[in-house]
Chains A and B, each alone.
Chain A
Amino acid sequence: MNGDLILLGHGSGGKLSHQLLDQLIIPSLSGVSLTGQNDAAVVDHEGSRLAFTTDSYVVDPIFFPGGNIGDLAVNGTVNDLAMVGARPLHMSVGLIIEEGFSRSDLSVILASMRSAADLAGVAIVTGDTKVVPRGKADRIFINTSGIGILEHQLHISGSGARVGDKIIINGTIGDHGIAVLAARYGLELVAGIQSDTAALYGLVAELLPEGEYLHVLRDPTRGGVATTLKEIALQSNVTISLQEAALPVKSPVSGVCSILGLDPLHIANEGKLVAVVAADAAERVLAIMRRHPLGLDAAVIGEVVDASAGKMVMETVVGGIRGVDMLTGEQLPRIC
């Protein structure tokens, strides 16, 4: 293997992505430490705390059950702001369009961006459009950046998990990844698997009042819940223990996963957040979530058990304790 080449796996969100980030991108561009890596940067400006983030969207296919690349690009950036507890204010949109792309498809995408922005209460205030020759891009790529404001004094960060904390998720896992996979491979699936793409600030806002109990918020996108929780374990230097039986998975999703041989824990979500909260607040957080339309299936899925090692384990339904890790690239067979 040629070590100089960037592989697809370097963009998977798993181990290779982290290596690229830690070994090349971060040292080259700034001095942000691993423990400082959150979904959005929080910067102080004249007494206000502002959050700033950016994200690029290259999803294939661009239309899938439950959404398209447009609302995904808005919700994704809104959610990255929300995960540091910021109310999203303004967004930029950069479009890279391949020569020959359909005008009507573009207008559908733009319309859903607009309505997603309205729903999230964010204003698209600036943008850029480039068209590249055929074959130099795949139909359309979208970059969005966002600015939000923190209207509280909380420090919600990936390094905030403490022993005893509970891990809560606002609903079922794997919906987005499986919906996209189904669309990409033309799988006529059992009806009802849709992307969960949604803006999460509304739900986060419900959690923020008297929010000292709120230690970490993170959206488990690429790499799924496993990768996100492993990142938190590393950043907080704790061990996280999951309960397999407690993971909420829609039955068609788990059915498709079992045929495909995929683990829902490693599948992307676009409208989910994991909250790491103080144990005595867990019931309250759960109740708040379940009252919200985006948290009806909220569940406690695990807890922080040990202040060491940055590990993640899962108690399986057969009673064992399995190590869970982020993946290097795709899910590879490993049984000899």
Chain B
Amino acid sequence: MGQERIRVQVEGIVQGVGFRPFVYRLARRHQLTGWVRNTSRGVLLEAEGSNQQLDLFYSALNDDAPPLAAITSIIRSIIATEDSRDFSILPSSSGGGELQISPDCDVCPDCLAELFDPGDRRYQYPFINCTNCGPRYSIITGVPYDRQATTMADFPMCDDCRAEYENPADRRFHAQPNACPVCGPRLYLITATGEKVAGDPVAEAIRLLKSGKIVAVKGTGGYHLAVDPFNGPAVAELRHRKKRNEKPFALMVRDLTQAGVLARLDPIEERLLAGPEKPIVLLCKREGNGIAPQVAPANDYLGLMLASTPLHHLLLRDFIALVMTSGNVSDEPVAYRDREAVESLAGIADYFLGHDRRVHCRNDDSVIRVFQGKPIFLRRSRGYVPRSIRLHEAQKQVLAVGAELKGAICLTRGDHAFMSQHLGDLKNEPNLQFLDQTVSHLRQVLSVNPKVVAHDLHPDYQSTAYAQASSQLLVPVQHHHAHMAACMAENGLEGVVLGVVFDGTGYGPDGTIWGGEFLLGDYRNFRRVGHFSQVPLPGGDAAVREPWRMALSHCHAVFGSDAFSLKLPVFSVLADGDKRLLQRMLEQGLNSPLTSSCGRLFDGAAALIGLRSNVSYEGQAAIELEALAEKGSTEWHYPYAIVATDEKFTLDCRYIIDGLVNDLLAGEAGANMALRFHKAVAAATADICVKAGKAHGVNRVVLSGGVFQNKLLSGEVHDRLVAKGFLVFSHRLVPPNDGGLALGQAVIAGRSDACV
């Protein structure tokens, strides 16, 4: 069999997606030697081995690439063999800026085999790991990355472990978290009052879960709350104790086969689930799967993840699935310190399955949804953080502090942008402290010391106050400009583009609340060239919690005070006194700032159709409207009007609402109304893009903002724009919602005068 060496140049989105570790694993699987490294254009690699293995390797490079990668070109050439000895990941050719910290990783197949091998010295040892797998980011306390700079410093290695650690031929050579039952961390099971439960902690935890108990389980980035998802009353009890009414719980599933039993999977979803990052993937529920309805009430989707740590694998031997929801009190950060976890979760969990390996950096589960074969982050956290996003240009170091409801920060170094894990709602004080800790930690481990801080224009965001207290050079960034720049940055775009940014609310430079925006610009400047028509947001944030307010506001925009006498169920519950008060609010602008929000338009439509008048989490009504629309069947969509003034295009939403109300009064099916609404918004959006594109000579469109988590709308908008000849760019590496905002802030600041 012939020996050969190939060089492969891969281009596209191949950095920041776990491509090099993927190549490394693939090369090892095919017994190849050589190296892989990042270049300014993508990834370059050389591999040497048998022809047959090289062929398999080469086709897998494309076919099995990490789902987040988007390969635009892959070129192979045959070069002279070198007789290399191993396969390695080399520093990038640009040099510098290379110090990177690995994300936490699931347990690898080799370790998993040992875990279940009764003859192995780590048989059933829940902390088994090797150089290819195990905790990283969550246990690192400093740099350089070695055992002393991790929470494994607490565990001196036994002779056996040390021998592995020091042997270059061993797969645990310099595996920093290396451990075994003799020298490593230990599990324990305690009651909520701290008493030890006798017996094997895993076996006892399984028994307790089977009997309907709620067990807090310490994972990689913090605690989960586990309960048996087939036990309705137990799940209901968890909801009650966690004070979480409707937001779906995630499930951890034993394997892909079981995942396929509970939900429908396509190949991309399978690869995401099975990949080393082990995110939660939102999947279409299979009816009759036996999961208690309380797990994800009124929802066609299930959030599934596969077991990622050895402990999860041990627990799931006896379950098809377990509810594994973040171990936190309502909106607080996930508990990660053992004593605090017991204190804060004692009212929720009956038992705690913990251990003595400290979590230094808490890290919640990542959440991904796939549409049209493309993964989109709803939350980018464990498994992906702190992988960097490669910027088109190197820039001065910047700290960007993000928004508020979905906190996440970004630090830049050279041409790398590092997004932090999900920090939660910063209005909650503990989350704000978490942000502060994360800033210090990332500054330390990334060895950066930014003197420029980017923040949102919103004067009352906690992140804004945090930035203002920092006494650094501040760069305030408009919310939707940041969304647009985030999408540009991850797609490596330069020059002027059209940004279609749809979200809930963001502070506009004119003091009104934006959220249905068409922006023309680049990283330095932008201009608002279109937006949705403005309506009052009666009661400010109360309108987010109570979508009926937006239904009323939009109807008032169409029908004036007659809106109050519309024979619609959504208004029938309002008391006469409240109606009068609301009318004054709308007509006199009393605590009713004007907004062009797209997200709130969706809320209003959902409330009108009667889906819900109140939500228990942000975006719930819009999510349900989308699910309803997917059941609809109609070619027609509601009419809309576009008003052009001074090269600015305003979508007059009144025609859409009028059409919807006519359908409602005529008794049309909800699913069809929901679909007509979606199509109307998509058609109007494409229409404005065409007009604005023509007026300003642009043909590149970026789609950003939380509304683009909506599969149906994204798909419709995308297809219509492509059909009109636009180049359309979406998010792939960071969430379209505020969780990705800091990336845009960071690049805008990096290109601003503050960094010149």
Contacts and interface: CB of A to CB of B under 8 A. Distances in A.
B386 interface: no
State the majority secondary structure of interface residues on A. Answer: loop
A323 B404 contact: no
B531 to A, nearest CB: 16
A148 B284 CA distance: 72
B620 to A, nearest CB: 12
A287 B405 CA distance: 41
Given A260-B539, A320-B428, A335 B544 contact: yes
Interface string B321-341: 000000001111000000000
B618 A321 contact: no
B548 to A, nearest CB: 12
Given A260-B539, A321-B430, A336 B505 contact: yes
B543 A333 contact: yes
A318 B405 contact: no
Nearest to A326: B460
A259 B429 contact: no
B392 to A, nearest CB: 26
B367 interface: no
Contacts of A320: 329-332, 428
Contacts of B432: 323
Contacts of B595: 333
Contacts of A318: 243, 330
Nearest to A321: B429
B121 interface: no
B195 interface: no
B706 A319 contact: no
Contacts of B738: 336
A311 to B, nearest CB: 8
B509 interface: yes
Nearest to B332: A320
B580 A328 contact: no
A73 B243 CA distance: 46
A256 B539 CA distance: 11
B458 interface: yes
B539 A335 contact: no
B404 A334 contact: yes
Given A261-B539, A335-B541, A1 B590 contact: no
Given A334-B505, A334-B541, A187 B429 contact: no
A296 interface: no
A325 B618 contact: no
* From A188, A256, A334, residue with most partner B Cβ within 10 Å: A334
A95 B593 CA distance: 34
B460 A334 contact: yes
B513 interface: yes
A163 interface: no
Given A185-B584, A325-B465, A336 B406 contact: yes
Interface string A106-124: 0000000000000000000
Contacts of A259: 539, 578, 581-582, 585
Contact of A262 (B427, B509, B591, B706): B591
Interface in B278-321: none
B240 to A, nearest CB: 12
A181 B584 CA distance: 11
Nearest to B457: A1
Contacts of A249: none
Given A259-B582, A261-B539, A332 B429 contact: no
A258 interface: yes
**Interface bin, chain A:** 20 to 34
Contact of A330 (B330, B577, B591): B591
Nearest to B468: A15
B737 to A, nearest CB: 7
A308 to B, nearest CB: 12
B542 A336 contact: no
Interface in B459-502: 459-462, 465, 479
B539 A336 contact: no
B540 interface: yes
Nearest to B542: A261
Interface in B243-295: 243
Given A260-B591, A332-B460, A335-B544, A319 B243 contact: yes
A322 B591 contact: no
Contact of A331 (B465, B509, B591): B591
Contacts of A189: 577, 581
A322 B706 contact: no
Nearest to A309: B469
B503 interface: yes
B744 interface: no
A59 interface: no
A319 B429 CA distance: 12
A51 to B, nearest CB: 33
Interface string A298-336: 000000000000010100001111110101111111111
A322 B539 contact: no
B222 interface: no
Interface in A250-283: 256, 258-262
B539 A323 contact: no
Nearest to B461: A334
Contact of A261 (B509, B588, B591, B618): B591
A31 interface: no
A19 B272 CA distance: 50
Interface string A177-209: 000010001111110000000000000000000
Interface string B417-430: 00000000011111
Nearest to B505: A333
A186 B580 CA distance: 10
Nearest to A315: B429
A261 B459 contact: no
B581 A187 contact: yes
Nearest to B538: A261
Contacts of A261: 538-543, 591
A90 to B, nearest CB: 39
Contacts of B537: 333
Given A1-B509, A336-B479, A323 B429 contact: yes
Contacts of B18: none
A189 B575 CA distance: 13
A11 to B, nearest CB: 16
Interface in B408-454: 426-430, 432
15 contacts: A15-B459, A186-B584, A189-B581, A256-B581, A259-B539, A260-B591, A261-B543, A320-B330, A320-B331, A323-B462, A332-B458, A333-B537, A333-B540, A335-B541, A336-B479
Given A320-B329, A334-B427, 17 more contacts: A188-B580, A260-B542, A260-B581, A318-B330, A321-B428, A323-B426, A323-B462, A327-B460, A330-B591, A330-B593, A333-B541, A334-B405, A334-B458, A335-B504, A335-B544, A335-B618, A336-B506
| List of 4 A-B pairs having minimum Cβ-Cβ separation, nearest first | A261-B539, A261-B542, A328-B459, A333-B540
Interface of B: 243, 329-332, 403-406, 426-430, 432, 458-462, 465, 479, 503-507, 509, 513, 537-544, 577-578, 580-582, 584-585, 588, 590-591, 593, 595, 599, 618, 706, 737-738
